[in-house]
């Protein structure tokens, strides 16, 4: 299924039905009086979040969602029939904004969260409602009130405990495929990952956390270069960031420069991003050049007060240690995870 994280839709609630102008005309009732009924209520438009949805694909190709109008009032003081509501189902984590003003209307961050996004119009009152001792035969009724209508901009922000960030082709997809059942595309060229991928990592006593593989970021991502702004939003909801750095290439600018550049892009997109705890790790430790460079970079990061970890997603070396660091930040109340203490981590996957 194609991953779509943005959509623009039009919603229109139902109009209220017209009130009725009617008079009793019955044999042997010379002064029947007004008996026009009220119009029915127009249908509301709801938007509901569901964990069963993963994408906004359905809304990308079905933009218009219109509720029916209420039934018109009838004689004998019969009220018009109320219209059914329209429910639009979206993935959990969908942010709803007014497409014209940009106003935030709702943030559906929980499964089952519901918002009335457009209210249906009330039905008009029939002429029976306007009869008084002075005005005994009113010949007018109210029209129904129009339902609300608007264009909405929907934006999906994935909900994950851990977000993997880094430059393109640093090994993010390989790592998530190693520790979870997610199977993103893996290749030896930049921007292999074109959409975010979610994986579930089990640990402890039937516990787990969700990890998101975010497409690679480049310098200028906050301005839209590469695939930046399109996917930086998915990092906003994560609790912890796993920052993977690749120093295996001779063309590498250095681990610290890459680290600073990615964090600069995060801060320019949203200063709140820099407040998230990060686990910084060098990938591809199975490459001899990486292992040599790793020794030099550990001291550089230590001087800045940052622990630098190393792992190889290909061989599994250091992967468990990286997971322990992540779990310690996700769940600070969990006892320290060490070999043999009964807190199970994902089994190493065979290549």
> pLDDT tens digits for the chain (351 residues)?
455 678 999 999 999 999 999 998 877 777 788 999 999 999 999 999 998 887 888 898 889 999 999 999 999 999 999 999 999 999 888 999 999 999 999 999 889 999 999 999 999 999 999 999 899 889 999 999 999 999 999 988 777 788 888 888 788 888 888 888 766 544 443 444 446 677 788 877 767 788 888 776 656 544 554 454 556 677 777 889 999 988 877 555 678 888 888 888 888 888 888 888 899 999 888 888 888 888 888 888 888 898 999 898 888 888 899 888 888 888 766 555 444 333 445 554 433
Distance of CA 300 to the CA centre of its chain: 37
User: Can you state the angle between helices 288-303 and 255-269, rounded to 10 degrees?
Assistant: 60
Measured CA to CA, the distance from residue 116 to residue 7 in angstroms comes to 18
Which residues, listed in sequence order, are joined to residue 203 by a DSSP beta bridge? 207
What pLDDT, on the 0 to 100 scale, is given for residue 79? 94
What pLDDT, on the 0 to 100 scale, is given for residue 335? 53
Fold observed for domain 6-156: Spo0b-associated Gtp-binding Protein; Chain: A, (2.70.210)
Measured CA to CA, the distance from residue 25 to residue 310 in angstroms comes to 90
Question: CA of 118: how far to CAs of 87, 91, 151, in Å?
Answer: 11, 19, 10
Per the CB < 8 A criterion, the answer to whether 346 and 201 are in contact is yes
Question: CA of 345: how far to CAs of 58, 281, 309, 337, in Å?
Answer: 37, 18, 18, 9
What pLDDT, on the 0 to 100 scale, is given for residue 183? 63
What pLDDT, on the 0 to 100 scale, is given for residue 149? 96
Which residues, listed in sequence order, are joined to residue 235 by a DSSP beta bridge? none
Measured CA to CA, the distance from residue 190 to residue 40 in angstroms comes to 58
What pLDDT, on the 0 to 100 scale, is given for residue 74? 93
Looking up tokens 């960031």, which residue turns up? Answer: 241
Q: Tally the C-alpha atoms within 13 A of residue 126's C-alpha that lie toward its C-beta.
A: 23
Q: Where are the domains of the chain?
A: 6-156, 162-330
Token output for 262? 């990615």
Looking up tokens 């039009």, which residue turns up? Answer: 10
The CATH class given to the 162-330 domain equals: alpha beta
* Burial (CB count <10 Å: 0-12, 13-18, 19+), residue 139: exposed
Identical fold between 6-156 and 162-330: no
């Amino acid at each position: 299924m194609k991953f779509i994280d943005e959509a623009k839709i039009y919603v229109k609630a139902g109009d209220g039905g017209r009130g009725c102008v009617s008079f009793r005309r019955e044999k042997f009732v010379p002064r029947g009086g007004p008996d026009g009924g009220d119009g029915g209520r127009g249908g509301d438009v709801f938007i509901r979040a569901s964990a069963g949805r993963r994408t906004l694909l359905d809304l990308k190709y079905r933009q218009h969602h219109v509720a029916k109008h209420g039934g018109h009032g009838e004689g004998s003081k019969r009220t018009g029939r109320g219209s059914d509501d329209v429910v639009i189902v979206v993935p959990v984590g969908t942010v709803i904004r007014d497409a014209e003003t940009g106003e935030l209307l709702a943030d559906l961050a929980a499964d089952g969260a519901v918002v009335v996004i457009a209210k249906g119009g009330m039905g008009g009152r029939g002429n029976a409602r306007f009869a008084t001792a002075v005005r005994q035969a009113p010949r007018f009724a109210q029209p129904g009130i129009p339902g609300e209508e608007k264009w909405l901009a929907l934006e999906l922000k994935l909900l994950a405990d851990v977000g993997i960030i880094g430059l393109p082709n640093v090994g993010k997809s390989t790592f998530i495929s190693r520790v979870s059942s997610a199977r993103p595309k893996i290749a030896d060229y930049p921007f292999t990952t074109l959409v975010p991928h979610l994986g579930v990592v089990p640990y402890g006593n039937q516990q787990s956390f969700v990890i998101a593989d975010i497409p690679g970021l480049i310098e200028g991502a906050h301005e839209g270069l590469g695939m930046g702004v399109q996917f930086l939003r998915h990092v906003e909801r994560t609790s912890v960031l796993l920052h993977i750095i690749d120093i295996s290439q001779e063309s590498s600018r250095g681990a610290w420069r890459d680290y600073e550049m990615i964090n600069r892009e995060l801060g320019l997109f949203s200063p709140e991003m820099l407040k998230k705890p990060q686990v910084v790790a060098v990938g591809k430790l199975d490459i001899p050049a990486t292992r040599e460079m790793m020794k030099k970079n550990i001291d550089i990061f230590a001087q800045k007060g940052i622990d630098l970890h190393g792992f190889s997603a290909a061989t599994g070396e250091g992967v468990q240690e990286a997971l322990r660091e992540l779990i310690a930040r996700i769940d600070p109340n969990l006892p320290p995870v060490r070999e043999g203490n009964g807190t199970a981590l994902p089994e190493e996957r065979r290549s």
